[in-house]
Amino acid sequence: MNQNALDEQTLSQQIEDLLVARNPRGMKLVQSALMPGYYRRAARLMRNIKGTVLIGTGFPVVDTFETDGPVGAIALYNALETLGAQPVIVCGAPLSTAMADTFRVHEIKVGPHDQREQEAQQALQQLQPELIISIERPGQAADGNYYNMRGEDISPRAACFDTFMQQADCPTIAIGDGGNEIGMGNIQDALKNLDIVPAATTCTELVIADVSNWAAHGLIALLGWWHQQDLLADIDPTAILQYLSDHGSVDGVTRLNTLTEDGMPLTEGISVIEQLRVLTGFAEA
C-alpha cells in the first residue's frame, strides 16, 4: 500500500464526498455546514484509544430496531477491539438483549428526565469511557421529544443516550444521515430546509453520510490507513445483517425484515466498502 500519494486531509474529503454522493435524505445539501476534514478529525479521536469506548446505537422502529446503526456499531466495535480498545455497545431493548450474547453491552432504558440523567451519571462513573460514539441514535429535538424520519413522536420507545453525550468529560463523535439523530445540533440551522424534526443534541465531532452504517466504514477506512491494516476487509455486511435479521431487525425505511439498509440493497453497502478500500490503497479500482 502506498500512503505517500495522498495526505490525510485530501483522503478525508474524498471519503466525505463519496459518502454523501447519493443524497437520499439531504446530507449533501448540508455538508457545507461542516468544516471539511470532519472524518479525519473524528477518526483522530479514535486513533490511539486503548481504554473504554461507548458506542450508542439502535433507532427504534415500531417494537424493534432498524438495521442502520447496529451494522456500523458492530463494525466499529470489531475495528476498535482489533486496535486494542475496549468497546461497549450502549442500546435499549430489544437490541440490547439481542446483542448481549456476542458483544459487551450496556442497556439503557426508557424513563423520565431525572432518571435519564442519573442513568448516564452512573454508567459514566462505572465505565469511565475515553471516547463516546453515537451512530444512528435518535436525538432529542428542541422540545425534548424524539421523532423518526416521518415526524412521528417515538419518545415512548426511545431510551436516552443524549445524556451520555451531554455529561461526558471525554470527546464525543456522532454519526447521522437525516437530521434527527444525536449530534445534529451542531448544524441545526442547516437542517431547516429538510423535512425533518431536527435533533438539538450536540457533539465534539459530527460525521454525516447517506447511510449511517457507511459513515462507520469511512472512519474505519482512515483508521486502517493510519495503522496500515486493511480493517475494511474484515467487515462482512452480509453476515452482520443476517445476524441482526435473525434477532428481529427491520429496514428503517420499509419496516421489513430484510438484509437492507435504509431501503438500500446490500450491494450498495458492499460497493461503498470496496470504494473506500480503493481510496485507501488496499484495493485496485
Residue 257's CATH number: 3.90.1640.20
Ordered mean pLDDT values, 10 residues apiece, the chain (285 residues): 68 98 97 98 97 98 96 98 98 96 96 89 98 98 96 95 98 98 97 96 98 98 97 97 98 97 97 98 93
Domain count, the chain: 1
**Residue 3 falls inside a structural domain:** no
**Residue 285 falls inside a structural domain:** no
Model pLDDT for residues 36-45, shown as the tens digit of each residue = 999 999 999 9
- Given this model, what pLDDT does residue 267 score? 97
**Residue 249 falls inside a structural domain:** yes
Nearest to 92 by CA among 59, 141, 128: 59
CB 67 within 8 A of CB 83: no
- Given this model, what pLDDT does residue 2 score? 43
**Residue 79 falls inside a structural domain:** yes
Cell of 82: 482489533
**Residue 2 falls inside a structural domain:** no
**Residue 271 falls inside a structural domain:** yes
- Given this model, what pLDDT does residue 66 score? 97
- Given this model, what pLDDT does residue 112 score? 83
Is 0.75 surpassed by the pTM of this model? yes
CB 79 within 8 A of CB 231: yes
CB 198 within 8 A of CB 181: no
**Residue 181 falls inside a structural domain:** yes
β-pair partners for 106:
90
**Residue 284 falls inside a structural domain:** no
Full domain range(s) for residue 89:
8-279
